[in-house]
């Protein structure tokens, strides 16, 4: 019930389609009605067929009741969209229209305009005029203009136009899904990590989100008072005993705990998992048990767990809890992953949320731990790196809480992958569990014990690493590095892994190099990374992240996305076209946060 009928009970934002038209009657408008509305229907059909919400259902589009030829029809469409909970709009037209009379003027809605490239009617002229109006009024919009001329009356959507429509829609939906949701801070600042200093102004003004807070003593209270579903706990604990294999204890013998203590820790971490989920989204079962307030949850689409050290010095760590919630399945079966940031790093939590909403897939949270040059690897192991790894590798590893999807045990076209939960097979779930050991936590780090997630990510997966940073006086900036996971010979991996902590999950990552700036070498990527953490998404999603960031007015400080895939509002070009990165910073500063 939690996943299927309760978690997404509020529904999702819809995409508003605005067919605009030349308002002149007595022949002009009448000749364009059918074509214009057919373009709108074609766009709606494309988006609903290609895009899915986090629960797997097709994205819904709402088309204006009539073509929009003037301000009265624009207002009627806006009223309909508001009632239908539209979160972004796409304006389509094959012809000239009256720009300021037909444009979407809602300042908080992401917006795009497709101006049909045809010679019969000047759709491209309207596109240029209305984008100029958007820039002049401070309402940036994305311009979509097909490269090839189409015949009049053609309602097909060219491939290049489809790519931009889908990129904008994915990014705009991500923005709309975040709005009015919450980040739940479970605890406070972990070990002086600045990312876990939750900046409510950033969440409010840039993301349209609110912040919720609890003290970690709430976990103790709920455990001691039994504020969780006891029946689900028994089900979860039985599933864990059957499916989660405990690995060897890597602690020195004098620090190893008893079997009795380990069994108690398993009970604790399963309860922590249930409680965290209930804190985030609520649980109607708690109301049945007499806990009406707790049943409400905190309306949190993402959360972070403080853990170290105030919790982990005396209680089991959050690695199991974070791993299972961040994965695409649990004892109730396959379901949407929850976004839970380690060490309450709220900025990495938002990076996880970005990647998740763009892809509907689980996200890997990791330390960007070590750059290994080819020479260093050869010195330590005697092995010379080859192939993708020839120029060095990045060791992505953290204290045991990376999604099980990150094992790479899902398959797509015969290759390792990470997929939306509705595409994952039962066999793939079984393989992910088999590829994972739950190692007793390193007691020198975690005095309260617990279990760390131990696996090795399979190689040759396209991946995108990202990090959101806050800079005083500048605000948020985003970093993006597309690349691939790589596999090392077993002995080489073990030698390098043992120099850190072999009980933690490892992803060996190589960014794509461009011979420019921060991507001149693998070392330069590491040397320019803005924090100790990063988010790793399956696939090369850098272009979508750039589009998403521009909607939110967050500049991108480094990326290796091919130039032809970068898609930002048309007004960004008015800040300069030769140095797009600099123009991005100026445009974001000029227009300011989306919700300010």
> Can you say which residues are annotated as belonging to the binding site for Mn(2+)?
343, 367, 533
Please tell me which residue in 205, 367, 409, 428 is annotated as part of the active site.
367
Backbone torsions φ then ψ of 11, nearest 5 degrees: 75, -170
**Could you tell me where the DSSP H helices lie in 192-258?**
200-202, 217-225, 230-243
Strand partners, 471: 475
Which is the catalytic residue, given 60, 205, 278, 343?
A: 343
Map 160-202 to HEC letters: HHHHHHHHHHHHHHHHHHHCCCEEEEECCCCCCCHHHCCCHHH
Q: What is the DSSP string of 10-53?
A: T---EEEEEEB----TTTHHHHHHHHHHHHHHHHHHHHHHH-B-
The angle that helices 28-50 and 159-178 make with each other, rounded to 10 degrees, is 70
Sequence-distant (≥ 6) Cβ neighbours of residue 579 within 8 angstroms: none
**Active-site residue 343, yes or no?**
yes
Answer positive or negative: Cα dihedral of 495, 439, 427, 403.
Answer: negative
Question: Inter-axis angle of helices 217-225 and 259-281, to 10 degrees?
Answer: 100
- CA 175/CA 168 separation, integer angstroms: 11
Distance of alpha carbon 517 from alpha carbon 561, whole angstroms: 13
Q: Where does residue 317 rank: exposed (0-12), middle (13-18), buried (19+ CB within 10 A)?
A: buried
Q: How far apart are the C-alpha atoms of 473 and 493, rounded to whole Å?
A: 42
Collect all residues with Cβ–Cβ distance below 8 Å to 548 and sequence separation of at least 6.
171, 174, 175, 354, 358
Interatomic CA distance for residues 464 and 484, integer angstroms: 8
Single out the residue of 240, 299, 295, 239 nearest to residue 265, CA to CA. Answer: 240
Is 544 known to be catalytic? no
How many CA within 13 A on the CB side of residue 182? 15
Nearest 10 degrees: CA dihedral of 558, 354, 175, 182?
-130
**410 SS3 class:** strand
Q: Is 464 helix (H, G, I), strand (E, B) or coil?
A: strand
The three-class DSSP label of residue 17 is strand
The residue length of the chain stands at 596
C-alpha 403/C-alpha 53 separation (Å) is: 20
**φ and ψ at residue 478, rounded to 5 degrees:** -115, 140
d(CA 303, CA 276) in angstroms, rounded, equals 9
Alpha carbons 113 and 100: distance in angstroms, whole number: 13
Beta strands in 187-225 (DSSP E): 210-214
The answer to whether the CB of 467 falls within 8 A of the CB of 534 is: yes
Cβ–Cβ < 8 Å for 489, 513: no
* Active site residues per annotation: 343, 367
């Amino acid at each position: 019930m939690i996943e299927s009928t309760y978690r997404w009970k509020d529904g999702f934002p819809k995409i508003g389609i605005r067919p605009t038209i030349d308002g002149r009657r007595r022949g002009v408008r009448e000749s364009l009605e059918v074509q214009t509305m057919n373009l709108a229907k074609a766009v709606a059909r494309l988006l609903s067929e290609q895009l899915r919400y986090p629960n797997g259902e097709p994205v819904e589009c709402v088309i204006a009741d009539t073509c929009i030829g003037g301000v009265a029809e624009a207002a009627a469409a806006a009223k309909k969209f508001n009632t239908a909970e539209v979160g972004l709009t796409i304006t389509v037209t094959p012809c000239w229209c009256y720009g300021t009379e037909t444009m979407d003027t809602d300042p908080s809605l992401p917006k795009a305009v497709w101006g049909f490239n045809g010679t019969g009617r000047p759709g491209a002229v309207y596109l240029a005029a209305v984008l100029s109006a958007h820039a002049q009024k401070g309402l940036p919009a994305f311009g979509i203009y097909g490269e090839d001329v189409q015949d009049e009356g053609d309602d097909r959507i060219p491939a290049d136009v489809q790519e931009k429509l889908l990129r904008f829609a994915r990014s705009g939906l991500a923005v709309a899904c975040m709005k009015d949701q919450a980040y739940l801070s479970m605890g406070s600042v972990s070990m002086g990590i600045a990312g876990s200093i939750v900046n409510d102004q950033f969440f409010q003004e840039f993301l349209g989100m609110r912040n919720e807070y609890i003290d970690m003593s709430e976990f103790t209270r709920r455990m001691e008072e039994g504020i969780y579903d006891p029946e689900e706990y028994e089900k979860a604990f039985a599933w864990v005993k059957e499916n989660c294999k405990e690995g060897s204890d890597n602690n020195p013998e004098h620090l190893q705990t008893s079997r009795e203590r380990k069994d108690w820790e398993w009970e604790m971490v399963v309860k922590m998992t249930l409680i965290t989920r209930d804190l985030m989204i609520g649980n109607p079962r708690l109301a049945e048990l007499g806990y009406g307030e707790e049943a409400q949850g905190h309306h949190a689409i993402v959360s972070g767990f403080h853990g170290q050290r105030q919790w982990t010095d005396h209680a089991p760590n959050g690695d199991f809890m974070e791993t299972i919630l961040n994965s695409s399945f649990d004892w109730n079966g396959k379901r949407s992953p929850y976004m839970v940031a380690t060490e309450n790093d709220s900025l990495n939590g938002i990076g996880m949320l970005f990647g998740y909403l763009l892809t509907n897939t689980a996200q890997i949270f990791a330390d960007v731990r070590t750059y290994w040059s080819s020479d260093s690897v050869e010195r330590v192991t005697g092995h010379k790196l080859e192939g993708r790894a020839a120029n060095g590798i990045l060791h992505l590893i953290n204290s045991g809480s990376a999604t099980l999807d990150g094992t790479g045990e899902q398959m797509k076209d015969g290759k390792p992958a990470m997929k939306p939960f509705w595409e994952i097979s039962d066999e793939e779930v079984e393989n992910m569990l088999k590829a994972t050991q739950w190692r007793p936590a390193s007691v020198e780090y975690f005095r309260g014990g617990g279990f760390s997630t131990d696996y090795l990510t399979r190689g040759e997966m396209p991946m995108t690493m990202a990090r959101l940073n806050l800079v005083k006086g500048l605000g948020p900036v985003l970093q993006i590095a597309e690349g691939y996971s790589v596999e090392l010979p077993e002995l080489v991996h073990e030698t390098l892994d043992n120099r850190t902590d072999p009980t933690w999950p490892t992803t060996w990552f190589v960014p794509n190099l461009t011979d420019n700036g921060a991507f001149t070498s693998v070392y330069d990527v590491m040397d320019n990374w803005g924090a100790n953490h990063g988010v790793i998404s399956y696939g090369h999603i850098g272009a979508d992240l750039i589009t998403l960031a521009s909607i939110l007015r967050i500049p991108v400080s480094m990326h290796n996305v091919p130039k032809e895939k970068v898609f930002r509002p048309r007004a960004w070009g008015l800040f300069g076209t030769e140095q797009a990165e600099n123009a991005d910073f100026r445009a974001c500063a000029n227009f300011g946060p989306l919700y300010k």
